[in-house]
Amino acid sequence: MSPADFRRYALFYLGYYGALGAYTPYIGRWVTANGHGGYVVGAMLALWYGGRIVAPPTWARLSARSATPGHWLIAGCVLAALGFAAFAGFAHGAMLFVVMAWFGVFFNAVMPQFEAMTLSALGPRNHDYGRIRMWGSVGFLVVAGTYGWLLDRLGNDAFVWLTLPWLALTVAAAWLHRDDRPPPVSSTGTTPRGELWRRPGVRHLLVTALLMQLGFGPFYVFYTLHLQAQGHDGFAVGVLWAIGVLCEIGMFWLAPRLVQRFGAHRLMTACLLATIGRWVIVAMFGGSFAWMALAQTGHALSFAAFHAGCMRRMAELFPQRREMAAAQGLLYGFSGGIGGVAGAGVAAVAWQLGGGRWAFLAGAALACVALAAHVLPARAVRPVAVSET
């Protein structure tokens, strides 16, 4: 990949995850500021993750059949930006959920497509994925680390307007990929999704990723609200998010060497162990900034290294480039979609019953289940060199 191509791919991750850095930490704050309770927050995030179930596989099929997949990327980004802008006019009633569903579908549709484009462009150098994906963490860091302070001063109504520029950057970055061409399709055509699902090792990876996502439910839905309930102000909340993302950035830079040295399976095992400890700390010591800062350093393993390990396993399990878009859609929809919806539901119930402590203890319990599923004997799958077909 040339330096110019590296910048094109990095810019899209920067814009996309910059927008996500506003949405994930602060959508719950915006919803509660408009008078809604924990169940509405959970329902909003469930709709968000629900978009990952339907949109990625559908979008992957449509873009894979197109001679100009870059045009599909642009269209998805434009529709996502328009959907998010509608939040400015619909903060209450049924339309709030309609707008959420619209935004969730299109915003979630484009990332699996772009992940496949990135891995395809990298080819056999897929271990360098983390150094491109790191720029998404930079965008997330800038936004998540500052928007708590900004919303304290500008008011929660500014949330939508502060987020839209990042979505506009995503559209602009997608435009740079408008002429990208799909990888050559072999004479055997596109592999059916059922065949991808039945491939040895795939279900084991998907179940592990789904359970990990379940355990992240309380974090994505209620972490900011949990910190506020424990007495932390907007500045402290932003700093804690920033600590996590800084550690994430460092890990994405180191991940290629760690994956090559230890292998994806052992690295993911360490990530799951770290995640269990992280959620227990958040549950039990939420009032302590020092303990919360320590817990946030765990984001390096529980998110960044785990994600890099998943991407390495995906490249091993789906060595043919023509399969990658469908495979990414399968992973994104199954783990991020089903796991996200279920995780938001579990988090909402636990939050209503016992607040942040119960929610994060539930997350720790789910991470334990994920660890058990991961270390259970699985049918061995020999890594295959990435093919150029």
Query: What is the spatial distance between Cα 121 and Cα 131, in angstroms, rounded to a whole number?
Result: 14
pLDDT at 196: 65
Closest CA to 264 of 297, 210, 308, 231: 308
**Terminal-residue alpha carbon distance, the chain:** 17
Which residue positions in the chain have pLDDT lower than 50? 185-189, 378-389
Tens-digit pLDDT profile for residues 246-299? 898 888 788 888 888 888 889 999 999 999 999 999 999 999 999 999 999 999
**Farthest-apart Cα atoms in the chain, separation:** 61
pLDDT at 16: 95
Q: 242: burial class by Cβ within 10 Å (0-12, 13-18, 19+)?
A: buried
Six-digit token pair at 240? 């804690």
pLDDT at 385: 41
Closest CA to 318 of 191, 174, 171, 169: 191
Query: What is the spatial distance between Cα 48 and Cα 108, in angstroms, rounded to a whole number?
Result: 8
pLDDT at 264: 86
CATH for the 3-183+192-375 domain, from 1.20.1250.20, 3.30.70.100, 3.30.930.10, 1.20.1050.10: 1.20.1250.20
Q: How far is CA 41 from the centre of its chain?
A: 18
Question: Are 282 and 292 a contacting pair, CB within 8 Å?
Answer: yes
pLDDT at 253: 80
pLDDT at 211: 93
pLDDT at 282: 96
Query: What is the spatial distance between Cα 116 and Cα 125, in angstroms, rounded to a whole number?
Result: 14
